[in-house]
Amino acid sequence: MDGGSVDVHLIGTTLDGLLGFAESDEGLRLSKKLCRHYWDLDQEATGSHIQGYREMWDEDSPEQ
């Protein structure tokens, strides 16, 4: 670990907040980086955040 937070509540809340900015290049970069870190802590929650991104921003998502 590189000294990053292991507080899953804080990470989840941060990812929720970043979702609104994930359309921008910087927001998406930060979201991806945090998801990679979060994956080692809680794969199910990380998957949920990725699915939320896809539903909101992915043009190829079947929900759109």
Q: What is the DSSP string of the chain?
A: --S----HHHHHHHHHHHHTTTTSHHHHHHHHHHHHHHHTT-HHHHHHHHHHHHHHH-TT-TT-
Average pLDDT of 12-28? Answer: 88
Q: Which amino acid is at 55?
A: E
Its pTM stands at 0.73
Mean pLDDT score of the chain:
85
In the predicted structure, residue 19 carries a pLDDT above the cut 90: no
Domain boundaries, the chain: 8-57
- On the 0-12 / 13-18 / 19+ scale of CB atoms within 10 A, 59 is exposed
